[in-house]
Amino acid sequence: MLNYIDKINMLPYELQEHIYQYYWSNIYLDVLNEIKSITALDKKINTFINKYKNNIIKENNNFYYREFNNLIRKITYNKGKMLLCNYNNLSLRNCNIKYINNICSTIRDDYKYIAPILISKSNFMRYDTFQYLKSL
C-alpha cells in the first residue's frame, strides 16, 4: 500500500505544486499564529497590570493571575518561545526557569509563573508583592 506522499508524487506536477504549496502555507500560517499569540499574551498581561497598577496586591485579581499563570507556564517550558520573548524584548522574558526555580520556589504553583512579571512591574512595592504571592 502506497503512503500519501507516494500517491501525491504520482500526480501531474501542476497538481503536486498546488498540494505542496497549500500544505506548506498552512504550516507557515500555524508558525506565524504561534508567534503572534506570544506577543498578544504579553500585550494582554501588560495592559491588565497597567490598568490595575495601583492595586496589584488585591484579592479580586487572583482569578486573572491564575489564568495568565497557566498560559505563561506553557511558554516557559518551550525554549523556542522563550528565545522569541528575549529577542522581542517582551516582559515574558522574565519568566525563565532559572528565576522561577530560584526566586519564586516558595510561591504556590497557581501564581509561580506570573510572579516574575508582577514583581518586576510593582516598582517600589516588589517585596510586598512577593510576600503577598507567597502568602496565597
Q: pLDDT tens-digit profile of 10-55?
A: 888 888 888 888 888 888 888 889 889 999 999 999 998 888 777 7
Domain range list for the chain? 4-135
Q: Does residue 58 carry a pLDDT above 80?
A: no
Instruction: Give percent of the chain above pLDDT 70.
Output: 99
C-beta contacts of 78-82 below 8 A and 24+ residues apart: 81/34, 81/38
What's the pTM? 0.77
Q: Does residue 88 carry a pLDDT above 70?
A: yes
Average pLDDT taken over every residue of the chain: 85
pLDDT of residue 1: 44
Q: Count how many Cα atoms sit within 13 Å of the Cα of residue 128 in the half-sphere of its side chain.
A: 10
Would you say 20 and 92 are in contact if contact means Cβ atoms under 8 Å apart?
no
Residue 96 gets which letter from DSSP? Answer: -
pLDDT of residue 13: 85
